Amino acid sequence: MSGPSTYNPKSGLEKWIDSRLPLPRLMHDTISTFPTPRNLNIWYTFGGILTFCLAVQIVTGIVLAMHYVASANLAFNSVEAIMRDVNYGWLIRYVHANGASMFFLAVYIHMFRGLYYGSYKAPRELIWIIGVLIYLLLMATAFFGYVLPWGQMSFWGATVITNMFSAVPVVGQAIATWLWGDFAVGDATLNRFFSLHYLLPFIIAGVVGLHIWALHVPGNNNPLGIDVKSPQDTVPFHPYYTVKDAFYLVCFVILFAGFVFFEPDFFGNPDNYQPANPLVTPPEIVPEWYLLPFYAMLRSIPDKLLGVIVMAGAIVTLVFIPWLDTSRVRSCRFRPLMKQFFWAFAVVCVILGYCGAQSVEATAFGVPLVWVARIATLYYFAYFWLIMPIIGLIETPKKLPPSIAQSVLGDSAVTSAE
Amino acid sequence: MRLTKLSRNLAIALGLGLLASTAAMAAEGATARHHVKEVEFEFEGPFGTYDRGALQRGYQVYKEVCAACHSLSYIAFRNLADKGGPEFSEAQARALAAAVKVQAEPNDKGETTDDAGAPLTRPAVLADKLPSPFPNDNAARANNGGALPPDLSLIAKARMDGPHYVYSLLTGYDEKAPGSFHVPDGKYYNPYFEGWAIGMPKPLSNNGVTYSDGTKATIEQQAHDVVTFLSWTAEPKMEDRKRMGFGVLIFLLALAGILFAAYRRVWKDAH
């Protein structure tokens, strides 16, 4: 929290606590009075939604872990026992399974929002980089979690992903064996994945703390991408954004509940209702939808090692965005050229996801999808490494409004302030 | 300006590419399985519930036909009396259990087989799981020409569009194989099965079972009933789930309404 604290203990008890553990002060400064730009739109409610998602996953996950058995022989049966014999086990498991998809849906919206409004630009570089770290941890956690039901797709997904490490020259096979704890994905692998799946969410929670801490130094960016200049530009977080976030959170939960109660297997793969069988490879091994764009990149490259490097590079690239964007203006609202490349980028990500879901030989209108994926991969990297730096230099941004208050309230705000 | 145009064209081209790729189907192999039949089941849709009669008849079809080769290992006899399931009365479920022999526990002498070497059996009770027709997978394969009859507990969820798939498969034996397609020995032609050659012979026949409630036991009726039953074994809490779902949605919509009013009120003067 930047700036002096405005906390004023009201009772003797509050004063007593505050002088020993300034927790009430922290809550007051970071939640109640935290000055927040008054022009944040719906896309800024996803930070709160994501915190909710993390809490839901941790709570349902802890309950599931009470009934789950991490053993190659018993895991599948224990999940079915949860679905059939544990009171409301079906509800908890469906919330947890769909919760992962909802988590990623929210994370992608949150990330694209950051990209569009330039929220990664100075002085918010570390918020963005910590965010990329959270995203990475999230993918690892989701991957470990998907293995736990020990269905066909769990087993073969784990086999494909861990085999990627064997692409490393010389020591690759040794790394894979070390990861498995065996010479193939098996009991030892399942047990360590369960251990890590239980551990990582708490690390994510810690890193989310850093993410929010870093956010509270410069405060929120906003759709105009201009700095807060006067108190007129902000409103206190409570009640303005607590009520707004709460409303959109409930809208999000309605969607969430729609899946849980009426299409609980929408994001799932039927093969995962077959117990893992190391002797039978499914005709198509497909990861969960949120990993499909990266899977499409991996498959579009004929060389295994190069494919792995490209896929890892796609995520590592995100770390450098704050310095790849050379524009002085943050928000794409005032960047007529960049805005179009941004939307093209969003479409490319969807295309990559689509390609990742299809079989390797699939074609669209006679064009092999593998070539579509190659071109899309090329655009993905070009967007960050070429388009971003070049457009920032050659583009003439639109005129920025003088202040947030004036843009929201019109000229009256300025006169009344003076 | 030229760059703007270029990027717009690029965006349009990419958008078209996306449409094209979603519209176009992947080229189908020569023996790709046929699309499932369009039938409707009572349990489909947000308001759908299982037809009790179909569930009870479906159990009969399973027991008299499928159980010869297919296990149903996640289902216990007590489940037959569960709410949201076939809802046999407890006495009926007990009787259905007692009609089935399961492997007995070791007797007082610690024996698990009788003098002739046959496994000791006893009538099943409510707590017993439905017995499997074969002691292990190898025995199942040996008795089925090398093919393993899958456990049916989850079959309706373990196949794409499961209920329609199982229905199509069960009623899909009467179509004639195209002349160019050779059905291997010991296999049967079924175009709804991947590869068209299935190890399971045509399981259902007209009046192959006799329904006690007077329903005419056509192949389609039996298939409908057993698919309803297997959908329940795959998703036994479906009715609970949908019922709770409506309560939850009504609550959330009301909460959203209240929050929206609060949101409008708080922000009234702020923008």
Residue found by looking up tokens 């509270």 in the block: A216
Residues of chain A contacting residue B26, judged by C-beta atoms under 8 Å apart: 358-359, 361-363
Q: What is the predicted pLDDT for the residue at A412? A: 64
**Could you tell me the pLDDT band of residue B21, with boundaries at 50, 70 and 90?**
very low
Q: What is the predicted pLDDT for the residue at B16? A: 47
Closest to B167 (Cα-Cα) out of B7, B38, B23: B38
* CB pair distance less than 8 Å for B157 and A270: yes
Nearest chain B CA: its distance from A174 CA (Å)? 34
Residues of chain A contacting residue B27, judged by C-beta atoms under 8 Å apart: 361-363
**Could you tell me the pLDDT band of residue B150, with boundaries at 50, 70 and 90?**
very high
Strand partners, B119: B113
Nearest chain A CA: its distance from B68 CA (Å)? 21
Q: What is the predicted pLDDT for the residue at B26? A: 38
Strand partners, B101: B123
Q: What is the predicted pLDDT for the residue at B31? A: 76
**How far is Cα B159 from Cα B32, in angstroms, rounded to an integer?**
15
- SS3 of residue A364 by DSSP: strand
Helices A75-84 and A89-116 pack at an angle, to 10 degrees, of 100
- The full set of domains in chain A, from first to last, is 32-223+236-278 (1.20.810.10), 286-418 (1.10.287.980)
pLDDT, tens digit (0-9, with 9 covering 90-100), for B220-249? 999 999 999 999 999 999 999 999 999 999
Instruction: State mean pLDDT over B18-34.
Output: 54
Residue B28 has pLDDT above 50, yes or no: no
Nearest chain A CA: its distance from B73 CA (Å)? 10
Instruction: State mean pLDDT over A258-285.
Output: 96
**Could you tell me the pLDDT band of residue B76, with boundaries at 50, 70 and 90?**
very high
The pTM for the full model equals 0.92
Q: How confident is the prediction for chain A on average, in pLDDT?
A: 95
**How far is Cα A279 from Cα B116, in angstroms, rounded to an integer?**
37
Closest to B68 (Cα-Cα) out of B143, B127, B125, B138: B143
| Binding-face residues of A in 369-388 toward B, CB within 8 A | 369, 372, 379
Instruction: State mean pLDDT over B137-152.
Output: 95
Angle A28-A29-A33 (CA atoms, 0-180°, nearest 5)? 80
Q: What is the predicted pLDDT for the residue at A385? A: 98
Q: How far is CA B71 from CA B63, B125, B129, in A?
A: 10, 17, 10
How many other C-beta atoms are found inside a 10 Å radius of the C-beta of residue B21? 21
Nearest residue on chain B to A358, judged by CA atoms? B26
How many other C-beta atoms are found inside a 10 Å radius of the C-beta of residue A202? 10
Q: What is the predicted pLDDT for the residue at B216? A: 97
Q: List for chain B the helix, strand, coil content (%; round to 5).
A: 45, 5, 50
* CB pair distance less than 8 Å for B24 and A247: no
Closest to B144 (Cα-Cα) out of B224, B66, B90, B258: B66
Instruction: State mean pLDDT over A242-265.
Output: 98
**Could you tell me the pLDDT band of residue A297, with boundaries at 50, 70 and 90?**
very high
Contact indicator for B71, B133 with CB cutoff of 8 Å? yes
Residue A418 has pLDDT above 50, yes or no: no
* CB pair distance less than 8 Å for B157 and A273: yes
Strand ranges inside A195-262, DSSP E: 234-236
C-alpha torsion sign, points B67, B73, B74, B75: positive
Q: Which tokens go with A393? A: 């230099």
The fraction of chain A above a pLDDT of 70, given in percent, is: 97
- Comparing A151-160, A345-354, B180-189, the range with the smallest average pLDDT is B180-189
**Could you tell me the pLDDT band of residue B24, with boundaries at 50, 70 and 90?**
very low
Pairing of strands B121-123, A234-236: unpaired
| Binding-face residues of A in 125-184 toward B, CB within 8 A | none
Q: What is the predicted pLDDT for the residue at A2? A: 54
Residue A281 has pLDDT above 70, yes or no: yes
Q: How confident is the prediction for chain B on average, in pLDDT?
A: 90
Residues of chain A contacting residue B162, judged by C-beta atoms under 8 Å apart: 270
Q: What is the predicted pLDDT for the residue at A97? A: 98
Got the DSSP string for B67-136? GGT---TT-BGGGGGSTTTT---HHHHHHHHHTSEEEPPP-TTS-SB-TTSPBPEEE--TTSBPPPSSSS
Residues of chain A contacting residue B242, judged by C-beta atoms under 8 Å apart: 261-262
Nearest residue on chain A to B79, judged by CA atoms? A84
| Binding-face residues of A in 233-262 toward B, CB within 8 A | 235, 239-240, 243-244, 246-247, 250-251, 253-254, 257-258, 260-262
* CB pair distance less than 8 Å for A344 and B249: no
**How far is Cα A156 from Cα A162, in angstroms, rounded to an integer?**
10
Instruction: State mean pLDDT over A300-329.
Output: 96
**How far is Cα A41 from Cα A113, in angstroms, rounded to an integer?**
10
The fraction of chain B above a pLDDT of 90, given in percent, is: 81
Q: Which tokens go with A303? A: 């060389």
ipTM: 0.92
**Could you tell me the pLDDT band of residue B6, with boundaries at 50, 70 and 90?**
very low
Residues recorded for chain B: 271
**Could you tell me the pLDDT band of residue B73, with boundaries at 50, 70 and 90?**
very high
Looking at the complex, does the CB of residue A363 fall below 8 Å from at least one CB of chain B? yes
Got the DSSP string for A286-354? ---GGGHHHHHHHHHSSSHHHHHHHHHHHHHHHHHHHHH---S---GGG-HHHHHHHHHHHHHHHHHHH
Q: What is the predicted pLDDT for the residue at B180? A: 87
B94-100 long-range contacts (CB < 8 A, ≥24 apart) are B94/B125, B94/B126, B96/B59, B97/B123, B97/B124, B97/B125, B97/B126, B97/B128, B98/B123, B98/B124, B98/B125, B99/B123, B100/B63, B100/B124, B100/B130, B100/B131
Read off φ and ψ for residue B96, nearest 5 degrees. Answer: -60, -40
Nearest chain B CA: its distance from A26 CA (Å)? 24
Q: How far is CA A33 from CA A119, A146, A231, A234, A295, in A?
A: 22, 41, 12, 10, 44
Nearest chain B CA: its distance from A126 CA (Å)? 30
Strand partners, A234: A37
* CB pair distance less than 8 Å for A337 and B10: no
Residue found by looking up tokens 């093209």 in the block: A344
Q: What is the predicted pLDDT for the residue at B269? A: 81
Looking at the partner chain, which of A90, A240, A344 has a beta carbon nearest the beta carbon of B14? A344
Looking at the complex, does the CB of residue A361 fall below 8 Å from at least one CB of chain B? yes
* CB pair distance less than 8 Å for A337 and B7: yes
Angle A320-A321-A324 (CA atoms, 0-180°, nearest 5)? 90
Both ends of chain B: CA-CA distance in Å?
A: 35
Closest to B235 (Cα-Cα) out of B151, B126, B154: B154
Nearest chain B CA: its distance from A246 CA (Å)? 7
Instruction: State mean pLDDT over B67-96.
Output: 97
- SS3 of residue A368 by DSSP: strand
Instruction: State mean pLDDT over A188-200.
Output: 98
With a CB cutoff of 8 Å and minimum separation 6, the contacts of B175 are B189, B191
CB pairs under 8 A between A and B: 132
Residue B2 has pLDDT above 90, yes or no: no
pLDDT, tens digit (0-9, with 9 covering 90-100), for A344-370? 999 999 999 999 999 888 888 889 999
- The full set of domains in chain B, from first to last, is 28-107+114-182+190-253 (1.10.760.10)
Q: What is the predicted pLDDT for the residue at B32? A: 82
The fraction of chain B above a pLDDT of 70, given in percent, is: 89
Closest to B246 (Cα-Cα) out of B43, B47, B51: B47
DSSP class of A35: E
Residues of chain A contacting residue B270, judged by C-beta atoms under 8 Å apart: 38, 235, 240
Residues recorded for chain A: 418
Residue A192 has pLDDT above 50, yes or no: yes
Residues of chain B contacting residue A343, judged by C-beta atoms under 8 Å apart: 11
Looking at the partner chain, which of B21, B194, B259 has a beta carbon nearest the beta carbon of A351? B21
Q: What is the predicted pLDDT for the residue at A329? A: 97
**How far is Cα B24 from Cα B20, in angstroms, rounded to an integer?**
6
Read off φ and ψ for residue B80, nearest 5 degrees. Answer: -65, -20
With a CB cutoff of 8 Å and minimum separation 6, the contacts of A207 are A130, A133, A134, A137
Looking at the partner chain, which of B7, B27, B159 has a beta carbon nearest the beta carbon of A344? B7
- Comparing A178-192, A373-387, B14-28, the range with the smallest average pLDDT is B14-28
Mutate which: B8, B36, B71, B154, vs A, most A CBs within 10 A? B154
- SS3 of residue A372 by DSSP: helix
Looking at the complex, does the CB of residue A305 fall below 8 Å from at least one CB of chain B? no
Strand partners, B121: B103
